[in-house]
Amino acid sequence: MLSLRVFFMNDSDWKMYREAIFNIYFLSITVLDTF
């Protein structure tokens, strides 16, 4: 499960993972707003 995988990540991996999710999330919002 994804949640278990995230739980066992160390701090540096979790920060990069979270940052990537936020970047994709805001990018998708921006793209959707333009349409």
Number of domains making up the chain = 1
Q: Please state, as a whole number, how many other Cβ atoms lie within 10 Å of the Cβ of residue 17.
A: 13
Residue type, 17: Y
In DSSP notation, 17-31 reads HHHHHHHHHHHHHHH
pTM: 0.46
What is the span of the domain harbouring residue 27? 2-34
On the question of pLDDT at 6 being above 60, the answer is no
CB 27 within 8 A of CB 34: no
Q: Band of the pLDDT at 4, cuts 50, 70, 90? A: low
Mean of per-residue pLDDT scores for the chain:
76
More confident residue, 19 or 5: 19
CB 20 within 8 A of CB 13: no
Residue type, 3: S
